[in-house]
Amino acid sequence: MHLLQLMTSWAVVCDVWYLEPQTIKPDETSIEFAERVRLMISHRAGLKMVPWDGYLKHSRATIL
């Protein structure tokens, strides 16, 4: 039902937040930088920080 509502509505209303630009710190790795920015985004959006990234959907789940 939700998908039907999205497909037939005139507009999708959402909130947009702009965070200040971030630069990598001298003693910070790229992974640490990405985690720090991801934490900032999740705090601002009020979302729970999860331990996986967006590539989870690109691989098949293996059943052990």
Would 39 be classed as within a structural domain? yes
In terms of residue numbers, what domain contains 27? 21-49
* Whole-number pLDDT of residue 63: 66
22-36 per-position pLDDT tens digit: 999 999 999 999 999
Would 26 be classed as within a structural domain? yes
Would 38 be classed as within a structural domain? yes
What pTM did the predictor assign?
Answer: 0.62
* Whole-number pLDDT of residue 59: 65
Q: Single out the residue of 32, 36, 38 nearest to residue 53, CA to CA.
A: 38
* Whole-number pLDDT of residue 26: 95
* Whole-number pLDDT of residue 17: 87
Would 41 be classed as within a structural domain? yes
Q: Is 30 within 8 Å of 24 (Cβ atoms)? A: yes
Residues of the chain scoring pLDDT < 50: none
In the chain, the amino acid numbered 17 is: W
* Whole-number pLDDT of residue 36: 94
Q: How many domains does the chain divide into? A: 1
Query: What sign does the dihedral 43-26-55-6 (CA atoms) show?
Result: positive
